Chains A and B, each alone.
Chain A
Amino acid sequence: MQLKVFFFGATADAVGSRELELATVETTTAQSLIDQLSQQHPALVKHKLLIAVNEDYADADTILNDGDELALFTAVSGG
């Protein structure tokens, strides 16, 4: 299945990109996707990460579906 992953701020610096398109073949949770990404981008997991799936906060166990849009980011600092 195809997934789009967005990165911002510190996670974008860690991955070197603000957007990646990924293909996975198995049932994937958010955590397993992060594990997959961290193999190519080890700097990603130097940070405690928050997860959003389709623009809503999600947890690591969330099962991903084809076409889902993920975002991985550090604790927010707006205001």
Chain B
Amino acid sequence: MPATDFTELTTDPIDITSVARRVVPPECGATVTLDGYVRQVTKGRETLHLVYEAYEPMAVKEMQKLVEHAKKEFEIANIGIVHRLGKLEIGETSVVISVAAPHRRAAFAACEWLIKELKRTVPIWKKEVYADGEVWIEGDLPESAVVSGQAEK
């Protein structure tokens, strides 16, 4: 089966090796893979578990836009992105981004760009559940399309 791009959401545990191997075409010699997983301690507070939620159809569209943009900007072959949703325990993988390229420098640069942009634009939200409470984490606001209740822009 030819290697191809893919952007997926799943509620199952992510098999990192399988994601990394799915992007490999014959002309490439290296794949850079980011494995993002749940940390136990954040800003001094101990996490019990996380919950991820997504606006699923828009999240897949936004991930596909990132893949298209990265393929124009970087000399890379294939990209695979899988993000997990639902309840995640400490240490479990929440996101895998694999980039296959003929040369590793472009693969590293593209992988870094992709995780940065995913965290900025893809409509997925993380809830941190602590022993003494829980909170939906709010990321950094992008430059566009921001409104508060009092119609300031």
Measured CB to CB, the residues of A under 8 A from B are 6, 8-10, 13, 30-31, 34-35, 38, 42, 44-52, 55-60, 71, 73-79
Residue contact A78 to B136, C-beta cutoff 8 Å: no
Q: Is B139 an interface residue (CB 8 A)?
A: yes
Q: At the interface, is chain A mostly helix, strand, loop or mixed?
A: mixed
Q: At the interface, is chain B mostly helix, strand, loop or mixed?
A: mixed
C-alpha spacing A9/B149, complex, angstroms:
18
Q: List 22 A-B contacts (CB under 8 A).
A: A8-B53, A9-B53, A10-B136, A34-B147, A42-B149, A48-B147, A49-B147, A52-B58, A55-B58, A55-B61, A56-B61, A59-B145, A60-B151, A75-B139, A76-B125, A76-B139, A77-B137, A77-B139, A78-B126, A79-B36, A79-B83, A79-B124
Residue contact A52 to B123, C-beta cutoff 8 Å: yes
Number of interface residues of B (CB under 8 A): 39
Interface positions, chain B 14-52, Cβ under 8 Å from A, are 36, 52
Residue contact B58 to A79, C-beta cutoff 8 Å: no
CB-based nearest B residue for A30: B147
Residue contact A34 to B145, C-beta cutoff 8 Å: no
Q: Is B115 an interface residue (CB 8 A)?
A: yes
Q: Is B131 an interface residue (CB 8 A)?
A: no
Contacts of A77 in B (CB 8 A): 119, 124-126, 136-139
Residue contact A49 to B146, C-beta cutoff 8 Å: yes
Q: Is B101 an interface residue (CB 8 A)?
A: no
The residue among A31, A42, A78 with the most chain B CB atoms within 10 A of its own CB is: A78
Contacts of B147 in A (CB 8 A): 30-31, 34, 48-49, 51, 59-60
Residue contact A49 to B148, C-beta cutoff 8 Å: yes
